Chain A
């Protein structure tokens, strides 16, 4: 057996180095895509979870209040009155700048500020014990400890952070809290050994009073951490007032997890798609590798080698290729994961919650999983053609025409299977639309997309035959017999060409589907932006480090704005992360009186003026995403937890929204304040008086704010551009898929054209013998390759459009809660055509260069 492997299989691999390389590359790329996306998916939230765990320390539970937090007095009562250990806490992730270089953007740092009560916190977090211990040991340290406890603005800073930024004790740091720069000074350093154990970095500890002062939260704490047994926790929970609740710390990670669920589902879908593409790529390359030896297999059969020996031998070879290719793929995947992780982290930071860009951590589970998938896929991919080849009678195995005849005979049966898959896709899509459940809906949607892809793949052989017959006539007119030959070659080598065309078609369909979905999304977003972003100037705190919607405008800034004579009206916009039925949502407070006549909200029903009147009267608007997610209609009620306990709100209207995929409940500031305390202002829209030039005023306002408030002044057009920049950023990862699709297309076509040329050596020899020049041969190969690209693009047009419809009306609607109106985008269609033709024509270059090596005499002798 091994002798046969060495003589037949290994020698073939050595002689066909390029083909072997292509095969290995195919396997490696397939594995790399899967590994890259999955590793990135796993890594994206790792840093966030580590931080949450490290900050949580030994706390078993946390007491949380509403959006405003827990009043000091209430916190003191709970801590002193309960029998469990408890400590108050405030937390903020801020941009920090070294005082001396405040204008120097290069020195920008991110600091995780934790405001603690040093006396009670030691039981919860090791680093706070260490900080205190360091502070208290020795005379100098003792005075440091006292300063930390007593002096306002004192902070203990992470030793590594200080070293990295050349900071020393007594240096002053500026930290950006909302729209204000606040000062802290370094009173001591936290030993790095303690922090590296906890998994936290860039930490600064301040006393709780300092925290309240600099965070602008005087009189409130974020939460109370508790160490309690389950029984004690239950007792404590029962004693808490209605405005507070007790939960396990893991719920915090879980909330972020829930918030990111659809984003991660999207990544999972991409990973799934990558698996599909990867498997197809491996199948494609392995099939060509095995099929190339069909003739040799026939000869071996004639010489008495049994089918079983052939199967085992080739599977052994595939095993070797699978191992090498998969290992290469793991290496490539790790490189790819680095890029994907950066993209994903940036997107999550832009859209959801601040994450530090973390390096890729290798996960042996993921690597093993995809190594095995790569190996098994390689074995499966080679098993199918080799079993088929070994079953063919020896005499027939030598003749490829038998295989092609069978391939053409099977085309209608494949087409029938394809139609069945399309029917399944329609049923799944309808089920998903009617089912409405997010989780089930997503998987039904994904299954529908898969069924569309499979339908298109199975229809490819028959469509290829039909289209080639049609294009053959055109080719005859355009390129004469050379065109006819090229078209017929595709038709007669259907077993190879159909696979290559299907692989290319699948890649193109994905690109087109995503392209159409993104373009439609962009179009719908554009309509929405035009309707709701109508203020002349928008303002938001400069702070970009903290969690989204946590940076607030201080009241004195609002007062400053109200005194500006150029301003006609101000829309104060407050977004607050909230939960509804345990799911993350946003509460939005707006200045209803200001915006009702100035913005054109897109309501699903009702009279605009009446809707606004209801809102002003205390009812709420629901975003379409919220309504869909929680099955709400106009007139329905929503029960929200308020400072005064649960309260019922009537839905005045439902409006189209693209700002929060989790869904939002919108209300007037008065309603918010009555139920949750002072409004949190996260953004401001400024409407200027008619005669004021907004560009000039923006410049003046920036000048007036300089040194007082850290606020971004964004003219309307700039904000619209930013919206689309963030939009494009969030779809950046799809570019990876597009590049991969291009590579798949290229490898698929180059394998097919190479195989066809190798198998048709005799025919090429005949053509040369009867007087066909190299130029004409090149022309034939180019037409053949280009036709394969064009056929793939032809089939990809309906397939990609169908995929886009599934993505828009099934997956996006139910997973992301986005209402997207499908829009035909000619650019997306043009893109796949040039991609197909470029891949096909580029893939023809190498095979064309090999034509000169064909010996006519040897070729025509072969039979």
Chain B
């Protein structure tokens, strides 16, 4: 279970504050597929960044499976990101110096998992995502959709409980984007992954179990699958 308590993030100076998130409270159950829907600059990405520990809140607390993320030091945060979180970015963020398979294996290797088992798992994930045949290719030799699938495989390599996807279809054509959303949905439904999807597309948000609208740094509305 994930719990956000009175979470706020303010950038800028005291004289000229820019409120990115204001007093956000949210509880997410394990295995849920949640959408954070809102315009660009509304605070969705900030919320994902705080949740993943790559940014720190100005105030408030974050609990992920009883662990308080906001109380972790830098080392514990690194391990938390490595073991508990999988991150999928809008611009894929694959490392151009590594091959497809090496990109996928990287978080696992940072964890010093057994090399052979890791490789097996990496290839299995790539096969599940339909790009096993490109495992030796370089990122710039792949299409956008393929790169995003590699990014998803990388996010899953350490078998994290929580998958954060920041506009994963924002840089893809609609057909490819649809395919990526189906993959995420399947991960949630079949593999019990908790997924938070940040998107500005209502169509994308419709794929999830619950949709939270984010506006000016606050969660202003919630709809469920039935649109209620």
- Shortest C-beta distance, A491 to chain B (Å), equals 7
Query: Given A480-B109, A492-B96, are A770 and B154 neighbors across the interface (CB < 8 Å)?
Result: yes
30 contacts across the A-B interface (CB closer than 8 A): A401-B96, A480-B109, A480-B115, A481-B105, A482-B109, A484-B102, A488-B98, A491-B97, A492-B96, A763-B95, A763-B96, A763-B97, A768-B81, A769-B52, A769-B81, A769-B87, A770-B106, A770-B110, A771-B78, A771-B79, A771-B107, A771-B158, A772-B78, A772-B82, A772-B110, A773-B79, A774-B75, A856-B55, A860-B93, A863-B91
Chain A: minimal CB distance from B152 (Å): 13
B30 within 8 A of A: no
Least CB separation from A763: chain B residue? B95
- What mask results when residues 39 to 80 of chain B are scored 1 for a CB within 8 Å of chain A, else 0? 000000110010010110000000000000000001100110
Of the candidates A480, A485, A768, which one forms a contact with B98 in the assembled complex, judged by CB atoms under 8 Å apart? A485
* CB pair A401 B140 closer than 8 Å: yes
Residues of A within 8 A of B95 (CB): 485, 763, 766-767
Residues on A with beta carbons closer than 8 Å to the beta carbon of B74 = 774
Residue of A nearest to B87 (CB): A769
Question: Could you tell me the distance between the alpha carbons of A772 and B154 in the complex, rounded to whole angstroms?
Answer: 13
Beta-carbon contact of B97 and A485 below 8 Å: yes
* B174 contacts A by Cβ under 8 Å: no
Determine chain B's interface SS by DSSP, over half rule. Answer: helix
Interface residues in B161-198 (C-beta closer than 8 Å to A)? none
| Contact in complex: A481, B109 (CB < 8 Å) | yes
With the chains together, A481 CA to B108 CA distance in Å?
10
Interface status of A51 (Cβ within 8 A of chain B): no
* Residues in A neighbouring B212, C-beta threshold 8 A: none
The distance in angstroms between the C-alpha atoms of A766 and B140, with both chains bound, is 17
* A: contact size bracket: 20 to 34
Q: Which residues of A are found within 8 Å of B75, using beta-carbon distances?
A: 773-774
Q: In the complex, are the beta carbons of B81 and A771 less than 8 A apart?
A: yes
Contact (A768, B54) CB under 8 Å given A773-B78, A860-B89: yes
Nearest Cβ in chain A — how far from B117, in angstroms?
A: 14
Residue A489 CB within 8 A of the other chain: yes
Q: How far is the CB of A85 from chain B (nearest CB, A)?
A: 85
Q: A481-B109, A770-B81, A772-B78 are in contact. Are A857 and B97 (CB under 8 A)?
A: no
Interface residue A776 (Cβ < 8 Å from any Cβ of B): yes
Task: Give the distance in Å from the alpha carbon of A516 to the alpha carbon of B71 in the complex.
Answer: 59
Complex Cα distance, B74 from A857, in Å, reads 14
Interface status of B216 (Cβ within 8 A of chain A): no
B209 contact set on A, CB distance < 8 A: none
**Cβ of A857 and Cβ of B98 under 8 Å apart?**
no
Write the nearest CB–CB distance from B79 to chain A, whole angstroms. 7
Quick one: CB contact mask for A98-132 with B, threshold 8 Å, 1 for yes? 00000000000000000000000000000000000
Cβ of B106: which chain A residues have Cβ within 8 Å of it?
481, 767, 770
Cα distance, A774 to B73, chains bound together (Å) = 12
CB neighbours of B55 from chain A (8 A): 855-857
Q: Known: A481-B102, A491-B97. Is A771-B83 also a contact (CB below 8 A)? A: yes
Contacts of A776 in B (CB 8 A): 110
- Collect the chain B residues with CB atoms within 8 Å of residue A855's CB: 55
* In the bound complex, CA of A771 to CA of B109 (Å): 10
Complex Cα gap A773–B85 (Å):
14
Is there a chain A Cβ closer than 8 Å to B111's Cβ?
A: yes
Q: Which B residues are CB-close (under 8 A) to A489?
A: 97
Closest 9 A/B residue pairs (Cβ): A771-B82, A488-B97, A856-B54, A481-B109, A773-B78, A857-B55, A766-B93, A857-B49, A771-B81
Name the residue in A763, A855, A860 with the highest tally of chain B Cβ atoms < 10 Å from its Cβ.
A860
Q: How far is the CA of A574 from the CA of B79 in the complex (A)?
A: 81
C-alpha spacing A482/B98, complex, angstroms: 11
Given A769-B93, A772-B82, A857-B46, 18 additional A-B pairs, CB 8 A: A480-B109, A480-B112, A481-B109, A481-B110, A484-B102, A485-B97, A762-B93, A763-B96, A767-B95, A768-B78, A771-B85, A772-B110, A773-B75, A773-B78, A773-B79, A776-B110, A857-B49, A860-B93
In the complex, chain B residues whose CB is within 8 Å of the CB of A767: 95, 106
Chain B interface size range = 20 to 34
The closest CB in chain A to the CB of B49 belongs to A857
Residues of chain A contacted by B54 (CB below 8 angstroms): 768-769, 856-857, 860
Q: Which of B87, B95, B98, B105 has the most CB of A within 10 A?
A: B95
Residue in chain A with minimal CB distance to B171:
A863
A771, B98: Cβ atoms closer than 8 Å = no
- The residue in chain B whose Cβ has the minimal distance to the Cβ of A862 is B91
* A 745-782 binary contact with B (CB < 8 Å = 1; else 0): 00000000000000000110011111111101000000
The distance in angstroms between the C-alpha atoms of A861 and B55, with both chains bound, is 12
- Complex CA gap A235/B195 in Å reads 112
Smallest CB separation, A474 vs chain B (Å) = 16
Determine how close the nearest CB of chain A comes to the CB of B64; give it in whole angstroms: 15
CB of A484 within 8 A of CB of B83, answer no
Contact status A774-B49, CB under 8 Å: no
Give CA–CA (A489, B111) in the complex, Å. Answer: 21
C-alpha gap A770/B82 in the complex (Å): 6
Closest Cβ of chain A to B35, distance in Å, is: 20
Once bound together, how far apart are the Cα atoms of A769 and B103, in whole Å? 13
Say how far B68's CB is from chain A's closest CB, in angstroms: 19
A770 / chain B contacts, CB cutoff of 8 Å = 81-82, 87, 106-107, 110, 154
Nearest Cβ on chain B to A447's Cβ, whole angstroms: 40
Bound form: Cα–Cα A488–B93 in Å: 17
What residues of chain B lie closer than 8 Å to A491, measured between beta carbons? Answer: 97
CB distance from B213 to the nearest CB of A (A): 22
Which residues of the other chain, B, contact A774 by a CB distance below 8 angstroms? 74-75, 78
Closest chain B CB from A271 CB (angstroms): 42
Give the nearest-CB partner of A492 in chain B. Answer: B97
Q: Report the separation of the CA atoms of residues A766 and B78 in the bound assembly, to the nearest whole angstrom.
A: 12
Nearest Cβ on chain A to B119's Cβ, whole angstroms: 12
In angstroms, Cα B53 to Cα A856, docked, is 10
> Which chain A residue has the least Cβ–Cβ distance from B94?
A766
Tell me the bound Cα distance from A42 to B58 in angstroms.
Answer: 66
Within the complex, what minimum Cβ distance (angstroms) separates B95 from chain A?
6
Which residues of B in the span 15-39 have a Cβ within 8 Å of any Cβ on A?
Answer: none
- Give chain A residues whose Cβ lies under 8 Å from the Cβ of B96: 401, 492, 763
Q: For the complex, give the distance between the alpha carbons of A861 and B170 in Å.
A: 13
Which B residues between 117 and 158 are near A, CB-CB below 8 angstroms?
A: 140, 154, 158
The answer for the CA separation of A489 and B97 in the assembled complex, in Å, is 7
Q: Which residues does chain A contribute within 8 Å of B158, judged by CB atoms?
A: 771
A771 contacts B110, CB within 8 Å?
yes
A471-493 with Cβ < 8 A to chain B? 480-482, 484-485, 488-489, 491-492
Most chain B CB within a 10 A radius of its CB, from A769, A774, A861: A769
Distance in Å from the Cβ of B139 to the closest Cβ of chain A?
11
- Closest Cβ–Cβ distance, residue A346 to chain B (whole Å): 53
Closest residue of chain A to B86, judged by CB?
A: A770
**Chain A positions 839-863 with a Cβ under 8 Å from a chain B Cβ:** 855-857, 860-861, 863
A763 to B55, CA, bound (A): 17
Give the CA-CA distance A481 to B105 in the complex, in Å.
9
A489 to B105, CA, bound (A): 18
Which single residue of chain A is at the shortest CB-CB distance from B52?
A769
Within 8 A of B (CB), among A211-251: none
Report yes or no: B98 in contact with A484, Cβ–Cβ below 8 A.
yes
Most interface-central of A492, A768, A770, A857 (chain B CB within 10 A): A770
Closest to A852 in B: B74
Cβ distance B198 to chain A, nearest Cβ, rounded Å? 13
Residue from the set A484, A488, A771, A855 with the largest chain B CB neighbour count within 10 Å: A771
**Assembly CA distance A773 to B98 (angstroms):** 19
How many Å from the CB of A409 to the closest CB on chain B? Answer: 15
Residue of B nearest to A772 (CB): B110
How far is B89's CA from A863's CA once the two chains are assembled, in angstroms?
12
Chain A nearest CB from B109 CB (Å) reads 4
Q: Which residue on chain B has the smallest CB distance to residue A486?
A: B97
Please, which residue of chain A has its CB at the minimum distance from the CB of B82?
A771
| B contact residues around A773 at 8 Å (CB) | 75, 78-79, 110
- In whole angstroms, what is the CA distance A763 to B96 when docked? 9
Instruction: Report the minimum CB–CB distance from A293 to chain B (whole Å).
Output: 21
